[in-house]
Structure 1
């Protein structure tokens, strides 16, 4: 059973789940029609249920329900990709869309210098974000540019990976800085559209994933690589040390040798 706390619009309600006393959003066609505050709903039909996190409850009154509706439609597609995706990302995504449109109304452009890297690091999420562009335009009359789409990509990734958007952005920045470090140490320029660039990005992405899960590589290439690819091994050590400092992570030595192999491929083909 749900007790109505606030009618957001005809299709959205803020309610209290009486089983656990949790503030919850119900989204469904006509679910708010004729509803009154303190009314108890015994049957919510096929309405979507989103439980609010404690730290974002105060934001619900500031978000226009149209943005909740848009965010819900985007999350529907995310759930098709992964049924276990974090549905509590609803309000953060809705809030971001609302804030982005408010900036557009004021003529303020927010650039994202990491847009290309984000699209390469999270291709499935980026595909869903691109598909949301028409949805947002049809609902609001505002069309998001590629920079805004990359921010939507991070929110979708947050729902799928259950990381915060801030953490995903931090990792993206570290990876971007690592790519710049590779270019500097090898005295080369890597085109972001080339295969070598995307391969290295993906390697770094999965390295971060392994470190987060405390997973260790079973293949130890350290001795072989340090002997045969001395320059790339030393650069790999420098890069791993830099990542450790920026991300506050401890990188196992097996990752150094594995990274050096990828670096050697770049060195020998560039």
Structure 2
């Protein structure tokens, strides 16, 4: 594929016009712009990554973001997406622009000595374990290229961008799911009187169930098998707790949670309580 160079960002990236359809693109790859000049038409190999500048993102127009972030942040975001591709296969690379924008702000915060805290970091690390692992590659990149230390809270936010690149959810939806899961776990602790350790198997099972329960509520999906009658007779206390939790979650999400979810949540509460009693 041939591209006419419109603007060189650095040795590894340029803005170009695709020869075939006159589309504006961001082209990224090792040394792709090295020794090149504006106006020159260059072939781009399959190893290079090409991003359309027609994209509209959560944070605005891709072309506007490109003007406001440093080329290095684009490179960092591109590398995170390369790592995500190795881990997950195909990823939505349009997330590059919002991720680069976030990284640009994060780097400025770190350079200004501003610390952010994210009360959901532990939940994100467990809920999106593989995404967090991929996002962690940013630590080494920032240390090597800019001598900057990035903390776990910032990595948690990058993990949400990675998650958005592999599923049909944007970053704010992923954050909402993490926040709602945390709220639900707090309600479970209140109902059962038991502290739920985020590193425990019980948390992992419960968290995964709640995560998909919230996603089903957001997307209007329903479970098929109804456990309510069985759970309400066999385990009435966990069932009543699950019912109260589901009603509270409806208020928080401002979305209906189908009654069929109660039995499944009750089953997880009973399993968790049974594990605690037997340990």
- Name the TM-score, length of structure 2 as normaliser: 0.88
- Aligned pair count? 269
Instruction: Find the partner of 2:183 among 177, 184, 190.
Output: 177
Q: Does 1:106 align with 2:112?
A: yes
For 2:26, the equivalent position in structure 1 comes to 25
SS at structure 1 position matched to 2:5: strand
Kindly provide the CA deviation profile for residues 68-125 of structure 1, in whole angstroms up to 9, marking residues without a partner as x. 1111111111112233211011111112122111111111000111111001101111
Cross-structure match for 1:10: 11
Match of 1:61 in 2: 67
Aligned to 1:84: 90
Pair 207,33 (structure 1): closer, same or farther in 2 beyond 3 Å: same
2: distance between equivalents of 1:21 and 1:186? 62
Residue aligned with 1:203, SS: helix
Q: Distance in 1 between matches of 2:88 and 2:21?
A: 26
- Aligned residue number for residue 123 of structure 2: 117
Q: Shift in Å at residue 20 of structure 1?
A: 4.9
Could you list the per-position Cα deviations for residues 11-45 of structure 1 after superposition, in whole angstroms to 9, with x for gaps in the alignment? 1112233555543210022322344444444x212
Shift of 1:244: 2.5
- CA-atom RMSD, angstroms? 2.0
Q: 2:204 maps to which residue?
A: 198
Q: What pairs with 1:226-245 in structure 2 (closer than 5 Å)?
A: 226-245=232-251
Contact kept, 8 Å, 1:86 with 1:162, in 2: the verdict is no
With structure 1 as the length reference, what TM-score do the two structures score?
0.91
Q: Distance in 2 between matches of 1:176 and 1:32?
A: 46
Give 1:132 deviation, angstroms: 3.0
Q: Deviations over 1:171-196 (max 9, x none)?
A: 11111011111111222222222221
Match of 1:257 in 2: 263
Q: Which runs of 5+ in 1 are unaligned?
A: none
Kept in 1: contact 2:177–2:215 (CA 8 A): no
Query: Secondary structure of the residue that 2:136 maps to in structure 1?
Result: helix
> Take 1:147 and 1:25, find their aligned partners in 2: how far apart are those partners?
29
Residue aligned with 1:181, SS: helix
Q: Which residue of 2 aligns with 1:163?
A: 169
